[in-house]
Structure 1
């Protein structure tokens, strides 16, 4: 009952602050600061979640979790590696590939290009690249003896190529028996049979052709450059790939996604941690305004505090009055910040596209980032954590002013009235 009385008095004091414009302004500043910090923190965490999701589903969905590549020679018995992979718990699938490196000519010079020879039946088990191209483009890679090539949208635009046009790839004339013997450069002609769009750096540097045609081009016969591996847990992939590679009779190079794309995940985690710390400090600074508000409120209400103490109210109840008064600022700031943060996070990609359209700029360039749009994935746990953090900090900020209020000497306060 006493707690309810203290909360009711605190609510009345919170409403009465409207009569003092200066106290009202500082109270508004603290509420606005908390709301802004909560909103920005929710938006930033949603953006980081979006980058992680795109990294896992888009980039790591196309880039293999791991690879076994022949040392100084192609892999001859690749089917045995695929069979061995199926026996390793945690490995979902394996698929052979033939990799070709070369140059393509564009305006202003040449550009490096990695051409992956794939078998669409096996590739679909380890990669979701088919989701980023039309069914017709995907099926064009099943024509084993054709020189079809599927380019990334960015590269096709850079080379000013469309479906049906031809492309010349200049590459070293490698001896099929030994890949380290290089002859004169040789030109290989391909016909663009499709375009895929990942929206990132892979659009500019990767292309796909039928595996059998790639093996024929390199004189590999039935051999392949390597075997791609997919694990059910991307973070367990490095260990699984090593276990599989060490069990092989042929010498192979072992690589996994942490060596090629791991820096992206680490960068995302680092940015998340730094932004969380910085914005938490912003919320803390906003909460310190609550201290200023309550200190002035205590001075303004000293006579009322003295009357309540002389009427028998306990000091703990007096503290609760001002804790409740300051908590209302935190609750209002958290509520406004959460609503704005959730709304912006849900529509963040559309907002970014609108800004790009209005200003005529590109926020994320495919030449620099692995995606060319601003992703967002709102998680309820992030919203709850941020709101709870801001609310707890706002309540902590009320403790000192509330304690000072409970130490008010009634006689002195009433004498000075």
Structure 2
């Protein structure tokens, strides 16, 4: 025999398990269960990674990662805010905006709409919004005309097309009594284009040229707020708080965790729950290893007794059955890893093919911030899943292996 004795005999027992068809079936079931659990867990974690990536690149690239807004008056010198912000490590850029709330008429009533006035040249520093609309639409926001860019979902909901005119009712602030609301005033806008991002943002947010927004609110100088872009999105709360303390003007501070943080928390919650559930599935499959080895011990009792009379130690007997059970786990982990990796890499294409085949849409852009199933494979996740499954399968071998080492050679041979 080549190699360690326990390893060699364990390998021979594993190869010879087909001699008992029932034991062979239970062994196959345990291997298949581990493979299925490992594959599904890798696929689920890859999908969660994909959602996190899209959340950061798509949604957090468009909405404000952090912003400061004037409390009782506009921010008169946003350039000063920008200079202060850029002195803070971790803040990469700043851009002004003018935000107002409006009502747009739709079939059956009105809908609230957040209207944001932006300067495309400055906005490009802190946002990827231009990637979700045509160059012509993006350029229309740099003009002083009454152009408005709507989300594609809202455009369909309103029954409009690009080039149509819509009436937007915006609050009219009394310049003589700052902050007091007189009446909603109607403003006519021409739909110059649409942006396609998906999710709730398409239904609730529209963009107009910042200079035109300033004319509506009579802001001849100043802006309502300044958007901030940070290097690490998860550091946004700390960075915007540091900026707020550094400013001389009273401002409201906000960051993406207050507006969209629930999405990230939902992703993490689903990841944790799915991980626990699928680890339990792998655990159930590992119980089959216990059953397989218990029956294998009974089937090989006489062979074990002969080996023990020849001087094989009880520790080596344990090693034989631990090797046999570990091989089940190892094969299951290998198969599950290959299937899981191959599926995770092609998950988006597979989901798209299923949608085309069944004529359904798995993810609706009107509900989620993406309209496709994203996937991003991390080898660290693969390693963790395979290591967890293998360790669980190894633990499952301990009791049957220990029982095998307790066999009395005389009793086993007498009962043969």
Q: 1:104 touches 1:168 (CA, 8 Å); kept in 2?
A: yes
Distance 2:65 2:240 in 1: 9
The Cα offsets for residues 146-194 of structure 1, whole Å up to 9 and x where unpaired, read as: 1111221211222232222222212222235766321222221111222
Q: How many Å apart are 1:346 and its aligned residue?
A: 1.5
Q: 2:153 touches 2:366 (CA, 8 Å); kept in 1?
A: no
Distance 1:161 1:27 in 2: 63
Distance 1:161 1:5 in 2: 79
Q: How many Å apart are 1:297 and its aligned residue?
A: 0.3
Please name the residue that 1:293 is paired with.
292
Please name the residue that 1:216 is paired with.
215
Q: Which is further off, 50-59 or 308-317?
A: 308-317
1:107 aligns with 2:107: yes
Correspondence 1:166-185 to 2 at 5 A: 166-175=165-174, 180-185=179-184
Change (3 A) 1:125 1:289: same
Q: 1:346 touches 1:376 (CA, 8 Å); kept in 2?
A: yes
Distance 1:361 1:111 in 2: 29
- Give the secondary-structure state (helix, strand or coil) at the position aligned to 1:42: helix
Please name the residue that 1:278 is paired with.
277
Q: How many Å apart are 1:392 and its aligned residue?
A: 0.9
The Cα offsets for residues 66-108 of structure 1, whole Å up to 9 and x where unpaired, read as: 1111113222122211121121121111110001211222223
Any stretches of 5+ residues in structure 1 without a counterpart? none
1:267 aligns with 2:269: no
How many pairs were matched up? 416
Distance 1:92 1:249 in 2: 21
- Give the secondary-structure state (helix, strand or coil) at the position aligned to 2:84: helix
Correspondence 1:82-161 to 2 at 5 A: 82-143=82-143, 145-161=144-160
Distance 1:331 1:41 in 2: 16
The Cα offsets for residues 118-146 of structure 1, whole Å up to 9 and x where unpaired, read as: 11111111111111111121111111x11
Any stretches of 5+ residues in structure 2 without a counterpart? none
Please name the residue that 1:374 is paired with.
373
- Give the secondary-structure state (helix, strand or coil) at the position aligned to 1:64: coil
Q: 1:73 touches 1:177 (CA, 8 Å); kept in 2?
A: no
- Give the secondary-structure state (helix, strand or coil) at the position aligned to 1:246: helix
Correspondence 1:166-205 to 2 at 5 A: 166-175=165-174, 180-205=179-204
Correspondence 1:327-338 to 2 at 5 A: 327-338=326-337
Distance 1:202 1:212 in 2: 23
Q: CA RMSD in A?
A: 1.7
Distance 1:20 1:59 in 2: 57
Change (3 A) 1:137 1:178: farther
Q: 1:177 touches 1:220 (CA, 8 Å); kept in 2?
A: no
Please name the residue that 2:72 is paired with.
72
Normalised to the residue count of structure 1, the TM-score between the two structures is: 0.95
Q: How many Å apart are 1:2 and its aligned residue?
A: 8.0
Correspondence 1:357-368 to 2 at 5 A: 357-368=356-367
Normalised to the residue count of structure 2, the TM-score between the two structures is: 0.96
